[in-house]
Amino acid sequence: MHCPYCRHTDSRVLDSRVSEDGTSIRRRRCCPKCEKRFTTVEAMQLTVLKRSGATEPFSREKAVAGVRKACNGRPVSEDDLARLGSCVEDELRAAGWAEIPANEVGLAILGPLRELDEVAYLRFASVYRAFESAEDFETEIALLRAERAPTADEPTYDEQAAAGGERSAGTRGAERHH
């Protein structure tokens, strides 16, 4: 590992620690030439098993590319997409696959995308699950509604703000002064 400060071609490991979830190792390193210290993280290379049987390294950027298309014209920022990519990677790592079947990558995207934007979710799901008719959309929307129903009584923050944003903002301010 090259030293990131002076590009010296060697470094000495001072300390190694396994992360809490056991999926990576952090190493504290020291450059023998300039004596600066830096940290490296070693994690398993996630491998995606494609339908053709070929494998390729998991790419967060590639996973997000299809989602970006589905988010066209929606209020979803590049930061949102980056967070989604990291969330998907975490989920796949946590699942502990040696080789991830390609369709599992799509499945791991659906959950966080639904949280992010329902329209983009429907677009992505329609491609991913190969919707063939308006009825497929209706079924999916019915599922979305059904899963949203248990919390439908609780107003969201947006609804609270619309109902009396001034007042609730004031209350929050008062609480902070305790």
Q: Please give the residue ranges that form the binding site for Zn ion (CB under 5 A).
A: 3, 5-6, 8, 31, 33-34
- How many angstroms separate the CA atoms of 46 and 172, rounded? 44
Q: Is 113 exposed, middle or buried (0-12, 13-18, 19+ CB in 10 A)?
A: buried
Taking the complex as a whole, the smallest distance from the CB of residue 12 to Zn ion amounts, in Å, to: 11
Dihedral, CA atoms, 153, 137, 48, 39, nearest 10 degrees?
-30
Evaluated on CA atoms 144, 147, 152, 157, the torsion sign reads negative
Taking the complex as a whole, the smallest distance from the CB of residue 14 to Zn ion amounts, in Å, to: 14
6 versus 44: smaller Cβ distance to Zn ion: 6
34 versus 94: smaller Cβ distance to Zn ion: 34
8 versus 26: smaller Cβ distance to Zn ion: 8
26 versus 33: smaller Cβ distance to Zn ion: 33
Q: Which residues, 6+ apart, have CB-to-CB distance to 122 below 8 Å?
A: 137, 140, 141, 144
Taking the complex as a whole, the smallest distance from the CB of residue 17 to Zn ion amounts, in Å, to: 22
Taking the complex as a whole, the smallest distance from the CB of residue 42 to Zn ion amounts, in Å, to: 20
Match 């959950």 to its residue by tokens: 111
